[in-house]
Amino acid sequence: MRYFPLFIDTNDLSCLIVGAGEVAARKLELLLKSHAQVKIVAPDVCATVKHLADSDQVTLCQRPFEDDDLANVRVVFVATSDEALNADIHAKATALGLLVNVVDNTPLCGFITPSIIDRSPVVIAMSSGGNAPVLLRYLRQKLESLIPANISKLGAFSERFRERVKHALSSVTARRYFWESVLDGDIAEEVTQGNAERAEEKFNAALQAAAENKQTQGQVYLVGAGPGDPDLLTFRALRLMQKADVVIYDRLVSPQILELVRRDAEKVYVGKARSVHTLPQDDINQLLIKYAKEGNRVVRLKGGDPFIFGRGGEEIQRLIEENIEFQVVPGITAAAGAGSYAGIPLTHRDHAQSVVFATGHLKDGSIDLNWSSLAQPNQTIVFYMGLTGLPIICERLIAHGLPASTPIALIRSATTQQQKVITGTLSNISAHPELAQMKPPVLIIVGGVVSLQHKLNWFEPHLAQQ
């Protein structure tokens, strides 16, 4: 992130605009929405600037730029058609420690002005760092259509009652829960519909009820984060991640997904690597209980789906024992994600009429599975956590009746840009020259459907798989 987003307090902010053409007019128009005082310096002034300058916030000096114009200002916009003059002003203003923006010249910008959606007091600012202005306009149009204009009423309502809520509810968590209930409920609806009196009555009743409730009820959400691509999160998963007070996550949750968690949430890593546990499962269970009993909204974020080799069942058993409320949010399991992105359908009328999920690593570290039920014709087998036991898996499947020529695929980091797929057969996959590159997380798919991978590989069609 080259440009760090900041919102500057414009009370008592003095700005200088050098230039008074249409480009400068656009900057002036933006500044006039703030409380800033603006000085404009230019020998020639366009009609738009002349019109906008008819404001108590603006001082118009119709003359060439002078070095003294940089005195007593904090922000400088340079918008002349003289590139040499622009560079000279940039150098002088930068030497004085001022914030400088040379319009349409990103290398000479100490800051850039974002694309703004103004629903004051709610203001949304977006930037592409000057690299994708058309994409930025496209995103702004999308957001403008999604965010109603009357959301500003809700912002003003929240601002009006903020101190009252702070006084009534001493706990930060209690205040957060209260405001979320307001914004998600009928009070917000009354505000946006213009029913201010009715909204205030309901607000006061809700605040009194919240103040009398001494114990804030914590809750745990077991959320499936999917196989890796953030776009595969469910809407509900994303909403809860952005409301969480505490997020307890494992190794299979990608950094891109963690970026979507609420910024000030406490993040607790309890990841498990192959045969190495950062925390034993019992300790993870105890963490969930501890944070929930402290009144937090806890998200247990798991790669894939919580109920498919995610130990979600074990965790909610303990929550039930402790009378802690919980919800489960399904996620796209690794088998579905890996198969789809590798071009391997898990079922196919010509190849597999059933699919079975198995773990390649049991609780005691063994791979003691019901091999005869797995080694069935016209069936797809998906092994989770089976990389270490790959030779044993291949050996047992052959021993229990599958042909040595049965196709097999290993998929690493499925659905992400780091995805890698290697294919072979039960007899030769262990000798594959690229096997050493396959580091966890790796999913194993066995069955005739793997033979379709070369034709159906839509995600990486440019790669020739072995």
Q: Does the active-site annotation cover 88?
A: no
In angstroms, the CA 452 to CA 454 distance is: 6
227 is in an annotated binding site: yes
pLDDT at residue 217, as a whole number: 59
Contacts of 409 (CB under 8 A, 6+ apart): 342, 344, 421, 422, 423, 444, 445, 446, 450, 453
**Domain residue limits, the chain:** 14-113, 151-212, 219-332, 335-456
* Segment 289-320, tens digit of pLDDT: 999 988 888 999 999 999 998 889 999 999 99
Question: Which pair of tokens denotes residue 258?
Answer: 């963690």
pLDDT at residue 364, as a whole number: 54
Q: What is the DSSP letter of 205?
A: H
Across the range 130-157, mean pLDDT stands at 86
Of 27, 153, 272, 420, the active-site residue reads 272
Give 70's Cβ-side CA count (13 Å radius).
16
Across the range 151-159, mean pLDDT stands at 90
Across the range 330-344, mean pLDDT stands at 94
Long-range contacts of 180-187 (CB under 8 A, 24+ apart): 180/243, 181/206, 182/158, 182/206, 183/154, 183/158
* Segment 38-70, tens digit of pLDDT: 999 999 999 999 999 999 999 999 999 999 999
Say if residue 341's pLDDT is above 80.
yes
pLDDT at residue 362, as a whole number: 56
Say if residue 250's pLDDT is above 80.
yes
Check if 14-113 and 335-456 are the same fold.
no
Say if residue 288's pLDDT is above 50.
yes
Query: Which of these, 297, 295, 128, lies nearest to 214 by C-alpha position?
Result: 295
43 is in an annotated binding site: yes
Query: Which of these, 256, 327, 323, 258, lies nearest to 298 by C-alpha position?
Result: 327
* Segment 86-108, tens digit of pLDDT: 999 999 999 999 999 999 898 99
Q: Does the active-site annotation cover 272?
A: yes
385 is in an annotated binding site: yes
Judge whether 385 and 360 are in contact, CB under 8 Å: yes
In angstroms, the CA 375 to CA 363 distance is: 22
Query: Which of these, 193, 312, 302, 191, lies nearest to 252 by C-alpha position?
Result: 302
pLDDT at residue 465, as a whole number: 44
| Percent of the chain surpassing pLDDT 90 | 63
In angstroms, the CA 414 to CA 325 distance is: 33
Question: Which pair of tokens denotes residue 197?
Answer: 């009196």
pLDDT at residue 466, as a whole number: 42
44 is in an annotated binding site: yes
211 is in an annotated binding site: no
Say if residue 324's pLDDT is above 50.
yes
15 vs 143, residue with greater confidence: 15
pLDDT at residue 64, as a whole number: 96
The H or E element that residue 440 is part of is: none
Say if residue 5's pLDDT is above 60.
yes
In angstroms, the CA 24 to CA 42 distance is: 10
305 is in an annotated binding site: yes
Contacts of 170 (CB under 8 A, 6+ apart): none
- Report in angstroms the alpha-carbon separations of 71 from 80, 87, 131, 206: 19, 18, 32, 52
What percent of the residues of the chain are helix, what percent strand, and what percent coil, each to the nearest 5? 40, 20, 40
Judge whether 367 and 393 are in contact, CB under 8 Å: yes
22 is in an annotated binding site: yes
Question: Which pair of tokens denotes residue 317?
Answer: 């058993």
CATH number of 335-456: 3.30.950.10
What rounded mean pLDDT belongs to the chain? 90
- Report in angstroms the alpha-carbon separations of 10 from 73, 109, 178, 225, 280: 12, 20, 31, 41, 52
pLDDT at residue 160, as a whole number: 92
Across the range 198-216, mean pLDDT stands at 83
| Percent of the chain surpassing pLDDT 70 | 95
Q: What is the DSSP letter of 461?
A: T
Contacts of 196 (CB under 8 A, 6+ apart): 157, 190
* Segment 364-419, tens digit of pLDDT: 556 788 999 999 999 999 999 889 889 999 999 999 999 999 999 999 999 988 89
In angstroms, the CA 23 to CA 49 distance is: 10
Judge whether 247 and 267 are in contact, CB under 8 Å: yes
CB-based burial of residue 19 (10 Å sphere; 0-12 exposed, 13-18 middle, 19+ buried)?
A: buried
* Segment 62-88, tens digit of pLDDT: 999 999 999 999 999 999 999 999 999
Say if residue 15's pLDDT is above 90.
yes
Question: Which pair of tokens denotes residue 344?
Answer: 């391997």
Q: Which CATH architecture has domain 219-332?
A: 3-Layer(aba) Sandwich (3.40)
Length of the chain: 466
Q: 354 pLDDT band (50/70/90 cuts)?
A: very high
pLDDT at residue 239, as a whole number: 84
Question: Which pair of tokens denotes residue 121?
Answer: 């007091």
Say if residue 273's pLDDT is above 60.
no
Please name the amino acid found at residue 444.
Answer: I
Three-state DSSP class for 367? coil
Residue the block writes with tokens 């402790």: 322
Of 69, 229, 245, 250, the active-site residue reads 250
Beta-strand relationship, 272-273 and 276-277: antiparallel
DSSP for 225-277 reads -BSS-GGGS-HHHHHHHTT-SEEEE-TTS-HHHHTTS-TTSEEEE--EETTEE
Say if residue 464's pLDDT is above 50.
no
User: Which residues are bridge partners to 18 per DSSP?
Assistant: 41, 78
In angstroms, the CA 60 to CA 45 distance is: 9
Q: State phi, psi for 111 to the nearest 5 degrees.
A: -150, 160
Across the range 276-297, mean pLDDT stands at 85
Homologous superfamily in CATH for domain 14-113? NAD(P)-binding Rossmann-like Domain (3.40.50.720)
Q: 459 pLDDT band (50/70/90 cuts)?
A: confident
- How many other C-beta atoms can be found within 10 angstroms of the C-beta atom of residue 93? 24
Please name the amino acid found at residue 306.
Answer: P
pLDDT at residue 260, as a whole number: 93
Question: Which pair of tokens denotes residue 374?
Answer: 């797995």
